Structure 1
Amino acid sequence: MTATAATADAGFIDDGLARRNARLLAGAQALGGANASIIFLTAPLVGSSLLGADKSLATLPVSFFVLGIAFGTIPAGAIMHRFGRRVGFTAAFLFSALCSLLAAVAVFRASFPLLCVAILGQGLVGAFAQQFRFAAADTASEGFKPKAISWVLAGGVLAGVVGPQTVIYTKDLFDPILFAGTYIAQAGLALVCCAILSFIRVPNRESGPVAVKGRPLKEIFAQRRFIVAAACGVVSYSLMTFVMTATPLAMVGCGLSTEDAALGIQWHVIAMYGPSFFTGSLIARFGKERIVSIGLALLSGCAIVALNGVDVAHFWTALVLLGVGWNFGFIGATAMLTDTYRPNERTRVQSANDFLVFGFVAAASFSSGKILHIFGWETVNWIVIPFSAAALLLLGWLVLAERRTVAS
């Protein structure tokens, strides 16, 4: 990096601005996160109602949502690189409102393909929402970055209430057409989110006159730390999605109500984002790797609880453990990832990482419904344990390798 670029990057750090942006982005996360929880809760149930005897494709709309995130990561990074964070975010959530209305039309017309298209569009918006955590860290100092990330994700606590409660209060607005009112309400949430995002300010340091060309992605990806951070992010998010996608169908299939499933998802989303109030502080005190390892262990704990019963208490407890495990694993992995790139490389690396993560998450969500339908709820949970263990071993390898490097 040249001296000029280094000076520009030093001047770019502004924790005051980072705090302001983090608060606004936390508010946007509260509504953007509600968008995702509404889809995860309603789409499998709507899909199941629109399909015939074969319900194995009931989670396909959720898979389209996650696939949309994967496909949208690179364009999202390019758009924000070219036009800035604010323009990219606000345009995305205007599009989200349109997709929500399209989903309502799909429900009124009982069109499964149209529902998949609408939710694919919401996935593209989700790719922009995934950049909230990175945008909060853009102007933060090294010491404040983990806290900025966790502040934004803490906004998801409200999303954990807004999303499921929106479903509960609007699902019967157009009775007997279930969830049409929910998708119309979802459009309103997107417009409020858009208004909040119009106030953020993140200078675009990558397109100015002092911008310098970063390293090739191949060189960045070859770093041990990038490999492990990306792997832990993939495992944490994929396993969370794999289990969460199947859970509403499993609960209804076990004789529990839609309200039970909605409240279960509500507690799960709160557990996903609630720890964010202190996750950043825990990372600062105990280290990124240790927090990620605790998260991976909690994911296995979720599976163990779920394997021991199918009443409401077992489902809800498992969902809470799943949420906290995701929080520690994914926030920790995100913080690890920020160690692997330079400021002028951020959007390329962030977008490439999210493309990788959500490619695997899409596969997890698609396979979840099929595995649940063919092999049952127990198999869904048994799959969690070996993947968590493998990620833990990889994390241990990194810690030992870095210690040896420091010692030498």
Structure 2
Amino acid sequence: MLGIVVWGLTLGQALLVTGNILLVSVTALVGEVISPSLRLATLPVAMQFVGLMSATLPAALLVKRLGRKRIFLIGNSIGLFGAALACYALFLANFWLFSLATFLLGVAIGIGQQYRFAAIENCAPDKAPQAISLIMAGGVLAAVLGPNLAVWSQKLMPSDLYIGAFACLFALYCLTTLLVALLPLKPASLEEQMGTARSYKTLLAQPTLIAAMTSGAIGYGVMVLVMTATPLAMKSCGLEFTHTASVIQWHVLGMFAPAFVTGRLVSRFGASKIIQTGCILLLASVFLSQFGQSYWHFWTALVLLGIGWNFTFVAATGLLTTTYQPADKAKVQGLNDFLVFSSSALASILAGYLQSLLGWSLLNIVMIPAILIAMLTVFISVNQSRRQTVAA
């Protein structure tokens, strides 16, 4: 049985992901309206991922000193300030201030990414894959709430369609802060605090660790780039915002609904096979995008993209947890999230440019080499692990 803390973290994750979906639904569109150049339209999205990337390693390392609860409360406080600043920036129609606000929101999201590791620490070791899955499954609630909030929030201030979205985001951070304050999270263990961590050179000599970080970073980067470009691509095809919100909603359902079973699939078939299956689904999304640009083409491609990401990310996270000892935890988790979200930041920076330069079909084709690299890395890791087992 997974305890109340894991369920509480799942609800907290759901609230945070709901806010993230709000950002995905409106941020690129806000940038398009108030940016000085169309090619800068996705800069606020990129700043969000830069903030996320910059927070991951410090957040993981500070857990040793401050504990999970204090780190999460600090992250939510930054999110509250970022949401308030975004409202003010939109009131002024100030693109650069809005970009700063999304950077702060990214920092809050980066700290929130530690929820999945907190869930692992607050359950029995043999329940880790299920705990990761449950945390990810909280996104199902977010998939329903996020896009609907994005549409509904436009009615809050008809004179400025997007301020309402960030007002809703502020409220979501308030709820998450209260929830985290009430959860009895475990403090860091004595071994984690006082043990001697291995060097990065020693840690990175593990083929399994390389496979987990590479597949996680590439899977996340591919998903973010295509997802970020989707609202712009759909608008260029003449599709309405409600259609875009619907596609993003189903995409997020694809990202999180499989999490109810992904943990069990990882336990049964192994993380490597599930990562490879996720990569195949990412390739299927790419190929489907070549056949048309109607609502249903976008819908199906983005659902496959979401499921592929889920399999890749959940399995890669599970694989990562097998590569470190308690004293190594902060270094490995921090480095992994730094690489994963650096990939996401780069992807979000390139999304608007590649969409304007290449168009939707070619943008998707560019994803193929990266996906194949992830598959090759996992394949090599499995073979090396087998050889080491035989040699032993």
TM-score normalised per structure 1: 0.93
Name the residue aligned to 1:34.
18
Name the residue aligned to 2:4.
20
Is contact 1:295-1:327 (8 Å) kept? yes
Please report the RMSD computed on the Cα atoms of aligned residues, expressed in angstroms: 1.5
| Alpha-carbon distance in structure 1 between the residues aligned to 2:192 and 2:301 | 51
Q: Which runs of 4+ in 1 moved over 4 A?
A: 206-210
1:207 deviation in Å? 5.4
Does residue 1:256 correspond to 2:251, yes or no?
no
Tell me, which stretches of 5 or more residues in structure 2 are unaligned?
Answer: none
> Is the helix fraction higher in 1 or 2?
2
* 1:322-353 Cα deviation digits (max 9, x unpaired): 11000000010011111111012212210111
1:206 deviation in Å? 4.5
Name the residue aligned to 2:311.
328
| Alpha-carbon distance in structure 1 between the residues aligned to 2:385 and 2:190 | 34
Name the residue aligned to 1:78.
61
Does residue 1:274 correspond to 2:257, yes or no?
yes
Question: Which residue, out of 72, 83, 90, partners 1:107?
Answer: 90
Matched residue type, 1:106: A
Is 317-326 or 384-393 further displaced after alignment? 384-393
| Alpha-carbon distance in structure 2 between the residues aligned to 1:225 and 1:62 | 31
1:90 deviation in Å? 1.9
SS in 2 for 1:171: helix
Q: Which aligned pairs between 1:202-351 and structure 2 lie closer than 5 A?
A: 202-206=185-189, 211-351=194-334
SS in 2 for 1:114: helix
State the aligned residue count: 391
Is contact 1:171-1:178 (8 Å) kept? yes
TM-score normalised per structure 2: 0.97
| Alpha-carbon distance in structure 2 between the residues aligned to 1:35 and 1:79 | 24
Is contact 1:31-1:193 (8 Å) kept? yes
Q: Which aligned pairs between 1:388-407 and structure 2 lie closer than 5 A?
A: 388-407=371-390
Is contact 2:78-2:107 (8 Å) kept? no
Tell me, which stretches of 5 or more residues in structure 1 are unaligned?
Answer: 1-15
| Alpha-carbon distance in structure 2 between the residues aligned to 1:250 and 1:229 | 31
* 1:156-177 Cα deviation digits (max 9, x unpaired): 1111111111111012321221
Name the residue aligned to 1:43.
27
Distance 1:307 1:339, change over 3 A: same
1:209 deviation in Å? 9.8
Question: Which residue, out of 146, 155, 159, partners 1:176?
Answer: 159
Aligned-residue identity in percent:
35
Is 66-75 or 138-147 further displaced after alignment? 138-147
Matched residue type, 1:55: L
1:208 deviation in Å? 7.0
SS in 1 for 2:387: helix
Question: Which residue, out of 47, 60, 75, partners 1:64?
Answer: 47
Is contact 1:77-1:351 (8 Å) kept? yes
| Alpha-carbon distance in structure 1 between the residues aligned to 2:171 and 2:302 | 28
Matched residue type, 1:36: N
| Alpha-carbon distance in structure 2 between the residues aligned to 1:149 and 1:397 | 25
Q: Which aligned pairs between 1:367-382 and structure 2 lie closer than 5 A?
A: 367-382=350-365
| Alpha-carbon distance in structure 2 between the residues aligned to 1:203 and 1:27 | 17
1:210 deviation in Å? 7.4
Is contact 2:6-2:123 (8 Å) kept? no
Name the residue aligned to 1:362.
345
Is contact 1:225-1:340 (8 Å) kept? yes
Matched residue type, 1:19: G
Name the residue aligned to 1:186.
169
| Alpha-carbon distance in structure 2 between the residues aligned to 1:289 and 1:394 | 10
Matched residue type, 2:16: G
Is contact 2:5-2:183 (8 Å) kept? yes
| Alpha-carbon distance in structure 2 between the residues aligned to 1:19 and 1:320 | 31
SS in 2 for 1:307: helix
Does residue 1:120 correspond to 2:103, yes or no?
yes
Matched residue type, 1:130: Q
| Alpha-carbon distance in structure 1 between the residues aligned to 2:237 and 2:255 | 24
1:97 deviation in Å? 1.6
Name the residue aligned to 2:142.
159
| Alpha-carbon distance in structure 2 between the residues aligned to 1:115 and 1:65 | 10
* 1:148-193 Cα deviation digits (max 9, x unpaired): 1111110011111111111110123212212111111110011101
Matched residue type, 1:237: Y
| Alpha-carbon distance in structure 1 between the residues aligned to 2:22 and 2:111 | 17
